[in-house]
Amino acid sequence: MAGTPSSPFITECTLERTLIRNFSKLNLYKVGWSELPQYTQFVFDIYRNSFTDEQPWELTSEDLTTMYHEDQTYFPHSVYFGFMNAANELVGTMKATQKTDLVLLPAEVEYGIDVKQLSKAFHITPHDIWHCGRLAVDKQKAKAAGVTSRSLFLELLFQSFQHITRNPGAIFLAEADKRVYDLFHKVGVPMQQIAKGKTYLGSETYPVVISHEGMLDWMEHYTCNLVDLVA
């Protein structure tokens, strides 16, 4: 990957990873530009080995190239969270990307979501919309570190919400298949579907939002569930 990203919207872009927090056998980082290929490959591998609606995700080398391009494009406007073990291997990931004039979000491209109308509905500007994605957890490596994939998911979600809600009124936007949608609701996240879904990679997927207040309420209610990572 040549060069470093340049954008007038860059606020936290770094070349190397930055430690966010130490846990018992894992460390949580803000991943740097130099490690982005490793990050994309990790997510691709997890997705490729996952099953959606009892069918494997049929990902190709072209999909990996597309993911690389997306991550390079989104990185200057994003925070890429990554759990790493003692061998500096990724174990869990999630990223949050701010909507800017230079970024078209997947919900806009794939589902035709009008971010101006969406922002008006929440009395915010389009730049207060944050897209979350690249959620992936290696269950075997998590188990080897003595933690559950659920606890990693909760902490990644907490970190993403915490970053987004630093911006007054900001909302969460993402695409979720039934598995992810059910998972979010199972842990109490007030996720709302905003448009019809469509079949993607063998699964029905649809755009969803979480309000600013919804994220704050969840963070307050679920903080007690995050402590098992520290033990």
In a domain, 3, yes or no: no
Q: Which residue has the tokens 């491209």?
A: 109
Q: Is residue 13 part of a domain?
A: no
Spatial CB neighbours of 131, under 8 Å, sequence gap ≥ 6: 96, 97, 99, 105, 106, 107, 173, 174
Domain assignment of residue 83, yes or no: yes
Q: Is residue 120 part of a domain?
A: yes
The CATH number for 45's domain is 3.40.630.30
Whether residue 39 is contained in a domain is answered as yes
Instruction: Specify the number of domains making up the chain.
Output: 1
Structural domain includes residue 186: yes
Is there a domain that residue 1 lies in?
Answer: no
Taking only the tens place, the pLDDT of each residue in 25-84 is 999 999 999 999 999 999 999 988 875 545 556 677 888 998 899 999 999 999 999 999
Q: What is the pTM of this model?
A: 0.87
- Would residue 8 count as lying in a domain? no
Q: Average of pLDDT values for 1-14?
A: 48
- Count CA atoms closer than 13 A to 96's CA, side-chain side: 23
Domain that includes residue 147, residue range: 18-229
Residue 120, SS3 per DSSP? helix
